[in-house]
Amino acid sequence: MEPDQAASAQTGPGATETKIHFKVTRFIMEAGVKLGLRSIPVATACTIYHSFFTATVAPGPYDPYLVAMAALYLAGKVEEQHLRTRDIINVSHRYLHPQSDPLELDSHFWELRDSIVQCELLMLRVLGFRVSFRHPHKYLLHYLLSLRRWMNRHSWERTPVSAAAWALLRDSYHGALCVRYLPQHVAVAVLYLALHCYGVEVPAHAQAQRPWWQVFSDDLSQAQIDQIVLDLIQIYTLDAEIS
């Protein structure tokens, strides 16, 4: 059915590595919800995670879950929603050992805490201290606002395009789209897919001189949008394979 899709999963990181990264980014997203993190810090954490494993040999000697915990801690600092290591350790421990009791305040706990802090420093050095990213979220929200004003208000109200686009954007962090593509392009592609899901036509799309997605990001082409959308759908296929 999709020989090209199977091939694209092999190129770049291997299939097992992609699966590991998927699982660990799923962990980051779940932990983000349980820690009360907003969308942007979660996105930063995932981006840091993906960038780290793009820059180093993956997964190498690094425990991906530890890297994820350190990424969460660092992202909280970068995006001004500070997390306590104690909370991160509690949530992660519970995630990895379901239904267990929280850890006692013993040497094991302090060792874990030390590991997180050390890993954080390592990540900062690997990433060259460049941990501030431009995310698609701001762009997507402005695009949604512009589109909302152009569309008929009733058809907008009954079609959850915003919710679908936001969900697609959040889920896209399971893969490394954030690292491979520009934030504006990702935002446009996500919006494109959301509109297609509900069969929404942008008014006067055919009669306009420029298609709406070209307006939002003028260096974008239809082929690029298609590619990003394909990658995004591929992430969901991976989800179905793993679970």
Site for other proteins in 39-68 (CB under 8 A): 39-40
Closest CA to 118 of 76, 63, 81: 63
Measured from the CB atom, the residue of 40 and 122 that comes closer to other proteins is: 40
Residue 65: CB minimum distance to other proteins, A: 16
Q: Site residues for other proteins, window 72-101 (CB under 8 A)?
A: 80, 86-88, 90-91, 94-95, 101
Q: Site residues for other proteins, window 106-145 (CB under 8 A)?
A: 137-139, 141-142, 144-145
Instruction: Report how far residue 116's alpha carbon sits from residue 89's, in angstroms, rounded to the nearest whole number.
Output: 9
Torsion over CA of 177, 183, 187 and 193, rounded to 10 degrees?
-30
Q: How many CA atoms lie within 13 A of 151 on its CB side?
A: 20
Residue 115: CB minimum distance to other proteins, A: 19
Segment 146-151 long-range contacts (CB within 8 Å, at least 24 positions apart): 146/216, 147/191, 147/202, 147/212, 150/202, 150/203, 151/200, 151/202, 151/203
What is the helix, strand, coil percentage profile of the chain, to 5?
70, 0, 30
Q: Site residues for other proteins, window 170-209 (CB under 8 A)?
A: 170-171, 174, 184, 193, 196-201, 203-209
Given the rule CB under 8 A, which of 8-16, 32-40, 46-54, 114-122 is the region that contacts other proteins? 32-40
Given the rule CB under 8 A, which of 48-56, 58-66, 113-121, 165-173 is the region that contacts other proteins? 165-173
Interface characters, 217-236, with other proteins (x: CB under 8 A): xx-------x--xx--x--x
Residue 114: CB minimum distance to other proteins, A: 18
Residue 243: CB minimum distance to other proteins, A: 6
Instruction: Report how far residue 237's alpha carbon sits from residue 191's, in angstroms, rounded to the nearest whole number.
Output: 19
State which of residues 33, 55, 96, 117 lies at the interface with other proteins (CB under 8 A). 33
